[in-house]
Chains A and B, each alone.
Chain A
Amino acid sequence: MTKKKKAVLEETETITKPAAVETVSVEDLRSSLEEIKTYDGVIGYILRNSASAAIDLKDPTKIIDYAILSSSALDAGEELSELFDLGEFKDIVVEGKNIKVLSLTDNENRVSIFLEKDADLEKVLSKLRLS
């Protein structure tokens, strides 16, 4: 295959990828997260995919701890779903004595939302399902 042909092929592949859809999806997700952040008891969120990451937390000193926790939770959730034949992994909620974390994946996006222990988790989930 000549270099020119290869370049054209790669270009075509890039165009045929649902890049626009994905961008919309990420944007939708981000706007949903921005709205969720205004809910009572929501501390912040971490949104990550292979290309970018967005972190919005009230207490920036805890970013690293929260990021590691969210990553561990998602990894554990995905593996446990496989281990126990739970079907497609939906989400994992890790509840601490003060804070709870909701982590889920949406395509290649990994989302974690941090909430105070009494915050309305169902409201957050509904909003995310609608987005």
Chain B
Amino acid sequence: MDSELYSFALKNTLNEILNVCPDITSAFMFKRDGEIIVGDEKTPEKTVMRVADLFDGILEKADAIGGFKCAVINGSMGRVNVSCMGEFYLVTVTPAKADMNYVNTLTNVLIPTVLKLLDKIHPAPTKIAPPPFEVETETPKVEEPEEAIEEPIQEITMEEKKEAVEPEAVLPEPPVSQLIVENLGGLLVPSDTVRIDNAVLTQWNELYNEREIGEVEIETFDGKSTRCKVKPIKDAKYEGKGIIQMPEKVQLTLEIKKGELVRVKPVIE
């Protein structure tokens, strides 16, 4: 789940806790890396950052005591509680006379419950994964018989057509790579084929569910574009350098030359 959703839910929970428990003078949550997840309006961001920084030293060495669970700092007029809640650290500041049983019951029960609920509702990973291709996998099944049997198109009903077309709509937007032009010459070099990193081709291949990428669209920064066949770079010295090897004819078409930058994206049809 993304941290924005966590923040929203936790902010509300924290506000409710602060409403029912005015003893808490300050409350906020941070992550080990210092990221502030949520905080009350009274506590300045600088203070939260400082707390996260101070605790970093403790957390670093907490392995020696089996990993950090919680900490209490007692002063003559108040106390600070820091509790580990999964990947988050909750900090509450209370006056010395505060009813700690009440405060702890609220914070140590409510917030973990909310966190668990959030995880149950949205068990999705934090990073947004590329869209799935469930529908797309069915595409060849629809298309293959068409080619093999060569039945007239008229026999396909409109609904069937829709089914065949719809999968294209879920394909992700072609990723654009910026590559540097390098000359590609030789007697047996086809004039309509460019060469790019195999790693880039593999990435595209994976992104489009193993669909083979045979063509790319190349666009210059002047707005000129062309479509070419694509193959992986053969020469190892150009691999992993963000290079596109381009025959002279293509360079002439695009009005560019070696060393210039172009945008390249796969052609998905």
Bound CA–CA A83/B55 (angstroms): 14
Bound CA–CA A88/B77 (angstroms): 7
Q: How large is the interface on A (under 10, 10 to 19, 20 to 34, 35 or more residues)?
A: 20 to 34
Q: Find out whether the CB atom of B54 lies under 8 angstroms from the CB atom of A97.
A: no
Quick one: closest B residue to A104, CB to CB? B74
Q: Find out whether the CB atom of A97 lies under 8 angstroms from the CB atom of B69.
A: yes
Q: Find out whether the CB atom of B61 lies under 8 angstroms from the CB atom of A72.
A: yes
Q: Find out whether the CB atom of B71 lies under 8 angstroms from the CB atom of A93.
A: yes
Contact pattern, B 10-33, Cβ under 8 Å of A = 1, otherwise 0: 000000000000000110000000
Bound CA–CA A87/B77 (angstroms): 5
Asked whether any CB of chain B lies closer than 8 Å to the CB of A101, the reply is yes
**Minimal beta-carbon separation of B128 from chain A (angstroms):** 33
Asked whether any CB of chain A lies closer than 8 Å to the CB of B50, the reply is yes
Q: Which residues of chain A (73-131) have a CB below 8 Å from chain B?
A: 73, 75-77, 79-81, 83-101, 114
**Among B25, B68, B76, B79, which residue has its beta carbon within 8 angstroms of that of A94?**
B68
Asked whether any CB of chain B lies closer than 8 Å to the CB of A15, the reply is no
Q: Find out whether the CB atom of A84 lies under 8 angstroms from the CB atom of B61.
A: no
The verdict on A90 contacting B76 (CB below 8 Å), with A80-B51, A83-B51, A100-B65 known, is: yes
Asked whether any CB of chain B lies closer than 8 Å to the CB of A62, the reply is yes
Quick one: closest A residue to B58, CB to CB? A72
- Which residues of the other chain, A, contact B75 by a CB distance below 8 angstroms? 81, 84, 86-90
Q: Tell me how many residues of B have a C-beta within 8 Å of chain A.
A: 32
Which secondary structure dominates where chain A touches chain B? mixed
Q: Find out whether the CB atom of B70 lies under 8 angstroms from the CB atom of A95.
A: yes
Quick one: closest A residue to B83, CB to CB? A95
Asked whether any CB of chain A lies closer than 8 Å to the CB of B170, the reply is no
Quick one: closest A residue to B26, CB to CB? A84
- Which residues of the other chain, A, contact B68 by a CB distance below 8 angstroms? 94-96
Q: Find out whether the CB atom of B71 lies under 8 angstroms from the CB atom of A73.
A: yes
Q: Find out whether the CB atom of B64 lies under 8 angstroms from the CB atom of A62.
A: yes
Bound CA–CA A91/B74 (angstroms): 5
Q: Find out whether the CB atom of A98 lies under 8 angstroms from the CB atom of B65.
A: yes
Bound CA–CA A11/B50 (angstroms): 43
**Minimal beta-carbon separation of A72 from chain B (angstroms):** 4
Asked whether any CB of chain A lies closer than 8 Å to the CB of B47, the reply is yes
Q: Which residues of chain B (57-109) have a CB below 8 Å from chain A?
A: 57-58, 60-80, 93, 96
The verdict on A84 contacting B69 (CB below 8 Å), with A62-B64, A96-B62 known, is: no
**Minimal beta-carbon separation of B191 from chain A (angstroms):** 67
Contact pattern, A 15-32, Cβ under 8 Å of B = 1, otherwise 0: 000000000000000000
- Which residues of the other chain, A, contact B50 by a CB distance below 8 angstroms? 79, 83
Bound CA–CA A92/B79 (angstroms): 9
Bound CA–CA A66/B65 (angstroms): 8
Asked whether any CB of chain B lies closer than 8 Å to the CB of A51, the reply is no
The 26 listed contacts between A and B (C-beta, < 8 Å) are A69-B61, A69-B62, A73-B71, A75-B57, A76-B58, A76-B73, A81-B73, A83-B51, A84-B78, A85-B77, A86-B76, A86-B78, A87-B77, A89-B73, A89-B74, A90-B74, A92-B74, A93-B72, A93-B74, A95-B68, A96-B66, A96-B67, A97-B66, A97-B69, A99-B65, A100-B65
